[in-house]
Amino acid sequence: MSVDELDELEDVEAFRHRAQVWIHQNLPPVGPLNIALGAVLSDEDELASVARDRQLQRMFFDAGLAGICMPREYGGQGLTLAHQEALNEELAGYEYPMRLQVPTFTPCASVLLDFGTDEQKRRHIPAILKGEEIWMQVLSEPSGGSDVAAALTTAVRDGDEWILNGSKVWTTGAWWSDWGLCLARTNWDVPKHRGLTVFMLPIHREGVEVHRIEMLNGNREFCQEYLTDVRVPDGDRIGEVNDGWTVGTRWMFHERMLYNSPLVTVPTGTTRGGDGGASLLDIARDAGRLQDPVARDLIGEARTMDLVDDALRQRISQGIVTGATSDQASAVVRLFGGSVSARRTTIAFELAGGAGAAWTDDDGEAAERGSDFLMRQISCIGGGTTEMARNVISERVLGMPRELSLDRDVAFRDVPRSPSST
């Protein structure tokens, strides 16, 4: 292939055909997929599933189907959103490396691409594309969920290294991940946004202790880390010292984009509900309610919301890519998607009827819907709460006045952090 041919963008339909042929030859068909948070798997199954995802990612890489919209110099394909969408469409109904999409590709790899040095990108992006590195967000802290800029985890410079101390929480699958993006405080004597720095952190380094959190439904995918004198070389710093909020702002944007990001591969038609991918028809049928007009109204409502959610994702994604709307509009997708998912979970529970309260092994898809319902709000909490999304939409998209903040021009050290500190 000549240099000229290389520089010419592959035609979308030719790309689609290439993807289609490869998918049919290499990937097993699977049922409708679901990427809900909080499914319950045994550790053994979870590790096997992670290993399989790494293997699949490597297959995508070798086939030239990994990192569709990532630059070629870092192992990506250098193609466009249209190519990514074509791949997503062709993947519908086939196995794909689900666990590597979020948070590895977005927000982590996205942030690396935005702010990493050339050396950092060469070191990590190809490894991510090959499934060798799984990343996570070392962001939230026990002391504050939505107020991420109030991080207490501290990094102190020591020659060419930084020493990190503190605790981080809500990291998904930290126990089987490799690297994390970590937001830490590097200056306590300036207002909170101006004293933060972002680091790349290997999860299994000395001084990092990973504890697993049990969720109310038995899920143990979330973790809490305790960082004790963890040493990170200055070369693993992302962005400038004390300029972590510039990085953080893009980080939040990429997080809100989630499955809407052009860097993420997700088969078209993948559901995001909490019902484990069970079809609502199956739930109603197994509950003996398929001919009940009330049940049929609910099924139609859920289908409406799914189709509208997809259409909204496409619209906002296109608006952001073309520059017709600001990046902040990703909060609209986040708010709507979270609300739709919660509603869908309620509908599944409602369709299950009495089996929502108590079920037997013979209840088919009507079983377990009560457990899903208990976890319903996770879609409106994880990845930034819907309340924060509403603030972003009203303030950043509609331009309404910002909420009064008492920590804006105060050295972070002097900001009240509990009733006793006022």
Residues that bind another protein (CB under 8 A): 279, 281, 293, 296-297, 299-301, 303-305, 307-309, 311-312, 314-316, 318-319, 322, 324-325, 329, 331-332, 335-336, 339, 387, 389-391, 393-395, 397-398, 400-401, 403
Of 99 and 344, nearer to another protein (C-beta) is 344
Of 72 and 303, nearer to another protein (C-beta) is 303
Of 165 and 268, nearer to another protein (C-beta) is 268
Of 38 and 353, nearer to another protein (C-beta) is 353
Q: How far is the CB of 78 from another protein (least distance, A)?
A: 23
Q: How far is the CB of 310 from another protein (least distance, A)?
A: 8
The dihedral through the CA atoms of 92, 96, 99, 102 has a sign that is negative
Of 80 and 339, nearer to another protein (C-beta) is 339
Q: How far is the CB of 166 from another protein (least distance, A)?
A: 30
The C-alpha angle with vertex 420 and arms to 416 and 421, in degrees rounded to 5, equals 30
Q: How far is the CB of 405 from another protein (least distance, A)?
A: 12
Of 165 and 385, nearer to another protein (C-beta) is 385
Structure-token pair, residue 68: 């569709």
Of 1 and 404, nearer to another protein (C-beta) is 404
3-state DSSP of the chain: CCHHHHHCCCCHHHHHHHHHHHHHHHCCECCCCECCCCCCCCHHHHHHHHHHHHHHHHHHHHCCCCCCCCCHHHCCCCCCHHHHHHHHHHCCCECCCHHHHHHHHHHHHHHHHHHCCHHHHHHHHHHHHCCCCCEEEECCECCECCCHHHCCCEEEEECCEEEEEEEEEEEECHHHCCEEEEEEECCCCCCHHHCEEEEEEECCCCCEEEEECCCCCCCCCEEEEEEEEEEEEHHHEECCCCCHHHHHHHHHHHHHHHHHCCCCCCCCCCECCCCCCCCHHHHHHHCCCCCCHHHHHHHHHHHHHHHHHHHHHHHHHHHHHHCCCCHHHHHHHHHHHHHHHHHHHHHHHHHHHHHHCCCCHHHHHHCCHHHHHHCCCHHHHCCCCHHHHHHHHHHHHCCCCCCCCCCCCCCHHHCCCCHHHC
Question: Given the DSSP bridges, would you call strands 135-138 and 222-233 parallel, antiparallel or unpaired?
Answer: unpaired
Of 293 and 419, nearer to another protein (C-beta) is 293
Q: How far is the CB of 330 from another protein (least distance, A)?
A: 11
Of 172 and 325, nearer to another protein (C-beta) is 325
Inter-residue contact 210 to 227 (CB < 8 Å): no
Nearest CA-CA partner of 167 in 112, 220, 230: 230
Q: How far is the CB of 303 from another protein (least distance, A)?
A: 5
Q: How far is the CB of 31 from another protein (least distance, A)?
A: 11
Q: How far is the CB of 364 from another protein (least distance, A)?
A: 15
Q: How far is the CB of 335 from another protein (least distance, A)?
A: 5
Of 169 and 329, nearer to another protein (C-beta) is 329
Q: How far is the CB of 15 from another protein (least distance, A)?
A: 21
